[in-house]
Every structure is written in structure tokens, then in C-alpha cells.
Amino acid sequence: MAARPIPDTVTVTITSCGRLDLLDQTLTAFQSFNSGGRYLINEDSGDAEIIEAVKKRMPEATILTGEGRTGLMASLDRLYSAVETPYIFHLEDDWVTDAPVDWETAMAALEKPGVAQVCVRAFDEIRAKWRRHSEPMEVNGHHLAHMHANAHVEFFGWSPNPGLFKTELYHRFKPFARVMPDQMSAIIKKDSGQTMAFLLPGIARHIGAGRNVTDPTMPARPKARLAKWARRIKKQLYYWGLRKQPY
């Protein structure tokens, strides 16, 4: 399949944190289907050798770092505030794509009422109970699934999963680091009245299972069964409005 050029109006932003092998797979796959383009990569490992390795792997990109580990949301603020194009395509360091991004359709979908972001994650990776809460949409002869606001309490307003959105969306809701990712999704969904649309069937699949990176701004994921159960209960109470924070 021939590669599609990345439009000049798009900046590809990538969050990375020390997983050089996954980052290499992500970049190799994405660049085999999408040519050219502007890239910003935030490397959050705080490791000088890893940062140099990222620069060597991607010399055409601008590599950003913080003072030590800063976490996902601060990394996104650093990336998005440096973007000078009208559109951002965000990509994390653990996704493999198997086709080009349909840039034209994604941009056209963002002009439709109620669409905040066009996600290119394979739709079958989304739980069926959430997929059911979506509306069919057709743009440029291509099919999308536009998520209902009630598909989930917080999800589907915005996501760091691979997808395109307007840079102005970030500037409307910045700074992102004031809340956690799911909370930002809920804020965008509530205050903008917009949700995500998935470009079907999707071209990106997650390859980072079991390779999670601890975010210094969030509690570590528990490993013991009882602790996992307690975490789920706390989050459910949060969704019901009975706790102020999910953890």
C-alpha cells in the first residue's frame, strides 16, 4: 500500500518513556504508511542515554524533555504548546499501524457537529458495551462511529490514543496537567458538547500490554488481588459521584 503524505497542516506528536523497542516499532510502522511530516517527540524517561537514542532514531524530529519524569499530562502540555499547525495527530510509543491515516476524511469529520477528535484505533479493541453507544457517520464515503456522550462517564471526549484533533481544542482546555487523562476527556465532553469519532475499521493496534510505564503523577497500579478490587471500588464510587478523586 502506497504511503500518504502527512499534510503540512498537521504536526505528529508522540509521547515516549524509555521503551525504545516499542517506539521503534511504532515509528517504523507509521512512517512506512505516512510520508514526510513534522514530528515532536516528548521523551519522559529522564535518562540522558535514552534521550540521545531517541534523537538518533528520529533525527528529523524535535525532541522535548522535562526536568526528570513529569508524567503523561505534563508531557502533553509540553508537546501541544509547541505545535504551530492547525491540527495535531497524537501517537503514543506503543501502537502499530497497518495502513495510512486517511487524513482528508479525518479533517472533514472534524468539521461535523459534535466531533472533537477522530481516533484511528481499531474499533474492535473498544469494549462492545461501549461500541454499542455510537452513531454511524459517513464522511467522504467512509464510515465512522461517533460516540454517544453516555457511552461512558468519562471516556470518549478526548483520548491520547492515536487520532487527529484541532490544535484549538488543546488551547481551549489547557493546561491538561491540572487533571488526569480520563478527567480531561470528561471535561472536554461536558464543556464542548463534543465526543470522539472512530474512523472504521481502524488502523492502529496497541502493542504495549504488560509494558505499562508508571506515571509519577498517578498512584501505582496495585498488583495484589485485594488491592486491585479496592481500586475498582474506589473508581466506581468516583463515577457515581461519591468520591472526589478516582483513586
Looking at residue 137, what is its pLDDT? Answer: 98
Helical pair 72-80 and 181-192, crossing angle rounded to 10 deg: 50
Mean pLDDT is lowest, of 102-106, 137-141, 149-153, 208-212, for 208-212
User: What is the pTM (predicted TM-score) of this model?
Assistant: 0.93
Looking at residue 211, what is its pLDDT? Answer: 84
- At 72-86, the pLDDT tens digits run 999 999 999 999 999
- At 175-190, the pLDDT tens digits run 999 999 999 999 999 9
Query: 128-166 as b/e, with b when 16 or more CB fall inside 10 Å?
Result: eeeeeebeebebeeeebbbbebebbbbbbbbbbbbbbbb
Cell of 118: 477522530
- Residues across the chain: 247
Residue 117 has pLDDT above 80, yes or no: yes
Helix (H, G, I), strand (E, B) or coil at 127: coil
Q: How far is 190 from 194, CA to CA, in rounded Å?
A: 8
Looking at residue 192, what is its pLDDT? Answer: 97
Q: Is 215 exposed, middle or buried (0-12, 13-18, 19+ CB in 10 A)?
A: buried
DSSP type of residue 121: B
Output the average pLDDT for the chain.
94
Rg (CA), the chain: 18
Looking at residue 162, what is its pLDDT? Answer: 98
The predicted model gives 212-239 an average pLDDT of: 80
Looking at residue 221, what is its pLDDT? Answer: 75
> CB atoms < 10 A from the CB of 221, how many?
12
Mean pLDDT is lowest, of 64-68, 112-116, 137-141, 162-166, for 64-68
Looking at residue 212, what is its pLDDT? Answer: 79
Sign of CA dihedral 170, 176, 182, 188: negative
Split at pLDDT 50, 70, 90, the class of 222 is confident
